[in-house]
Structures are given as C-alpha cells and as structure tokens.
Amino acid sequence: MNKFHVVIGGGIAGICTALFLSKRHKSVILVEKSSSLGGLLNTSFPFNNEFHFDYGTHFLAKTGDKILDQLLFDGILMDEFNYLKVGSYYKNLYEGNGFVTDFHLPKRKEYFNQIRTNSNFRKAKNLRDQLVNSFGEGYTYNLHDPILEKFYGFKSKDLKTDSHRLFALHRIITSNVKNIEKLKLSNKVYDDILAYKSYTQGISISKSIYPKKGGVGSWISFLNKKLDENKVKIMLNSKVKKIDFKGSQIKSINVDNQNYGVEKLYWTAPSAFIYPFFNLNQKKSLPRLRSYVAHFVIDKQYLTDLYYYQCFDPDFKSFRITLYDNFSNPCNKEYRRLTVEVLLKEKEIIDENFNKKIFEEIKQMKVIPNSSNLLFNSNVVIPNSFPVLKNTVKLDDTEEKKLTEIFENLIFFGKAYSKKWFTNEIIKEIYDYING
C-alpha cells in the first residue's frame, strides 16, 4: 500500500499544511467533510450574484517571512492598508482602534488607579488571576467579566490565561488619554495593557491586506489552485471512517471506504472527531462556540467610515460588524452591504426573527440610519468557529498531546492546538514545523 501525508480538515490550517507538505513530498491528501475548502475564510455571492460577503471580518496579514509570504500571496492582487479604521461599541460607538474603552464606567478613575505595575503573570492559575494581577479588580469584574461572559459564556475565573486576547481584551483605551504615551514609556505593564486612542498610533509594521476582487474567499480559491498545481489530492464531502494503528505508528486511514497508507497524519479538524478512533471520551474535547453570520444589503449610506468594529456591550447580541464598502470596491453606488457576527453558545437556541433583531441593533448603534430599508438578508450558522479554552484545559497536557506521545506520525495543527492566536502566526508555526 502506497503511503501518503494525510491532512484532515480543509480550513486555512489544513490548506497551508497540505500546501507546505506538497513542496517537500509528492503524495499528499487533504480531506474535508464539507463541499469546499476554507471554512470561515470563504466568500458568498448571495444577492444578484453581485454583492459578495465574507463569513465575518477577515483581513489578512503577512507573516514577515519573505519566502512564505511570496508562496501565500504572490499572484493575487491585494489592497494594502497602513492601518485599519476599526472601532468598538460599549454604550456608544467609538472610532478608535478596536479595543474596549472604559468611558462608560462611572468609577473608571478609581479602576485605573488599581492597575498593578508589578504583575507576575506566571503565578496566574486562570484568566481572572491574570487580569487582576494586571488590570486590578475594578476593570476585571466590571469591564472584562461581562464581556467575556457575552463572548464565551464564561467569566474570567472559568477561562484559561490569555484567552481574552482572541477578542482584543488584553488592552483597554482609558479616559486618561493625555498621559497614555508617557505611561507606556514609563512601565512595560502600561505599555502591554493600555491602547492608543487612535488607530493611527502604535500601528504594526506588518500591513493588513485584502483581495481587490471577490472578498477573502478569492484568496482561498488562489490557494486551492496552488494545491492543484502541486498535485495535492483534495477529497471534499469526505469522512474518515477508520484509523488503523500498530505500536507507535498510524498505519492507514479509511476515507469514504477507501484505504490509504499513512506516512504522517496531520489533524487540523476539531479534536472531537478523532477521539472515537482511539476510544477516547468526546466530552474531553474543548467546548466550541458557533458563529451566527448575518448578511444585509441596505439602501442608505453608513453613518461611519469604520472598516469594522467589535460590539463589547453585553446588552447586544452582535459581536463584530463588517462594513465592506468602506474598504473594498463598492458593488453598487446606491446600496451598502454589511455582515454581522454573533457568537452562540453550544446549546443556545435562536428563533426565526433573530435576523430582524440583529438588524435593529445595528440601527440602535447608529451605524446605519434608522430609515434604512432592508433590501436583502441571509444568514448561516457555522459550528465549531472558536474554541473555548477553560481553565481546566492545559495545552501541554491534553488528550491530543497524549496521542502525539503515543504515535510518532500524528501531528495536530490549528488554532485549537496552538498557543498562537492569529492566523498569520499559526500559518508561520505550521511552515516552520514542516520545514524545520
């Protein structure tokens, strides 16, 4: 039986794993259970086949490795942004840099004075400890906890350290704006947790990029072509039926009742799907959020020039709102399109009027005029969108880690198995591993 480098999961981690492997090996298989690659990094054209929508806010960023960035992006036209016009909402829309503000807190001066400049993050047993050790109890209990409960369904005491970074809660914009720069220069703790008031300050060296045409999904199509050029065998609408192993080696894998010999098995899909093959309890897998993604077309102009913003306000269900026509070529001069993401907990139930509720929220936030008429709307629920890292989970002591210690040719890649948080960082991590 011929042996293959087999990649399970066709999201961006799986795509990049297969692509990088194909540069070093001839026999690579990529298995995806859905009808297309890319996962959340897809784009749809649901309105008159003219208006494109991404499945949420997905700006791309280069890795900083010239050879890797050339492999990933050369050949596709991209707009480059020195900075992104982003903002936040908590009782009011704030055109800053996407971090949460403390402007709505009546005791914000008292909370600011609780910031600890002698923090010791290593002693933190959970996220609450980490936040209190840095921000103090005021910000932790009155700012972070309500937001974390909105996004994750858990407060900081139930979450793993650093899990607030996924939602940009590791920095705050305080009302003490005059001394921000001075404070950031005076102490590393201030520099780490305070954000500049403007998105033009403290910008990253790495520029953000976005395809000139077709939304972020056009990048996935571009990578798909590269997979084809490199002779990767792509199996869509396919499921793993069986994994055979002996001793420390995965010997073969059965996909759609076809057996393939395994040189190495790279798992980028949620871990719950691999557990049954080794008689492990699926309940041990990480809980994951679902993303409710709503697309709208309206007949009025936006009331802001932001590219996107995050809604931190617990009184609203909306999580992140993308305003395409502020950064991408408008599909229509008169109409405007937007996408709203809502994070649903594992067992959260929504009704048939949920889209209308979300649309009214956008009006209340004064992102679009109250007189806006809804010309088109659609929605999709995406399972397993974000892992929830509870404080009982140790990335260095997981079932996945135990499996890799048993099987020499089993590797886990992706956001759920990495200490990295951002897509470009995870891609670089995969690239370095395969080429290391």
Report the percent of the chain where pLDDT is more than 90.
Answer: 61
pLDDT 10s digits, 48-103: 777 889 999 999 999 989 999 999 999 999 999 988 899 999 988 887 778 899 98
Structure confidence at residue 116 (pLDDT): 82
pLDDT 10s digits, 256-281: 999 999 999 999 998 878 888 988 76
Could you tell me the domains of the chain? 3-38+215-279+392-434 (3.50.50.60), 100-193 (no CATH), 288-387 (3.90.660.20)
Tokens describing residue 143: 């700012």
CB 362 within 8 A of CB 295: no
Structure confidence at residue 236 (pLDDT): 97
pLDDT 10s digits, 351-403: 889 999 999 999 999 999 999 999 999 999 888 777 777 876 655 556 777 88
Sign of CA dihedral 163, 309, 60, 17: positive
CB 215 within 8 A of CB 10: no
Q: Which of 20-24, 37-41, 254-258, 346-350 has the lowest mean pLDDT?
A: 346-350
pLDDT 10s digits, 305-359: 999 999 999 999 999 999 999 999 887 788 999 999 999 987 788 888 999 999 9
pTM: 0.87
Residue 286 banded pLDDT, cuts 50, 70, 90:
low
Rounded average pLDDT over 157-169: 90
Residue 32 banded pLDDT, cuts 50, 70, 90:
very high
Element (DSSP H or E) covering residue 434:
helix 423-434
Tokens describing residue 411: 């590797």
Q: Is 363 helix (H, G, I), strand (E, B) or coil?
A: helix
Whether residue 284 is predicted with pLDDT greater than 60 in this model: the reply is no
Whether residue 203 is predicted with pLDDT greater than 60 in this model: the reply is no
Alpha carbon distance 300, 335 (integer Å): 6
